Structure 1
């Protein structure tokens, strides 16, 4: 499901839960949608961190070695 559609459906179920309650099927759907949303969020956040390069005030790169290695494996670094 697309991110925006996923968010909208989660919000619809949340509003319904607050106003009138959810059926058992809707509760299961809501939990599955939340898990999918969190998985997508974690993947996007991990990707952002893996693409990041850090520099100190003098302009020297201080990116952690673990991140550098991940970047090398993904072909994002030449060094």
Structure 2
């Protein structure tokens, strides 16, 4: 996960400084989608494990 975030950040900074090639743009988009999918999955797991007070 850390490598993915580092790569996303690298591509972001490179896009601001020099621009990205088409291949890098596609990689950036793919990595961002994959990252969001992971975050959503983790959040859904947390919600499934959540119990309301007084309900068992």
- Shorter-chain TM-score above 0.5: yes
Of structures 1 and 2, the larger Rg is shown by 1
What TM-score range do you get, normalising by the shorter chain?
over 0.9
User: Number of paired residues?
Assistant: 56
Q: Per-residue deviation at 1:54?
A: 1.4
Question: After TM superposition, what 4+ stretches of structure 1 lie above 3 angstroms from structure 2?
Answer: none
Tell me which of the two structures has the higher relative contact order, counting C-alpha pairs closer than 8 angstroms and 6 or more residues apart.
Answer: 2
Which structure carries more helix by proportion? Answer: 2
With the length of structure 1 as denominator, give the TM-score of the two structures: 0.68
The answer on 1:15 being equivalent to 2:13 is: yes
Q: What CA distance in whole angstroms lies between the structure 1 residues aligned with 2:49 and 2:5?
A: 25
Give the root-mean-square deviation of aligned CA atoms.
1.1
Gap runs ≥5 in structure 2: none
The aligned counterpart of 2:28 is 30
Q: What CA distance in whole angstroms lies between the structure 2 residues aligned with 1:43 and 1:34?
A: 14
With the length of structure 2 as denominator, give the TM-score of the two structures: 0.94
Q: Per-residue deviation at 1:12?
A: 0.2
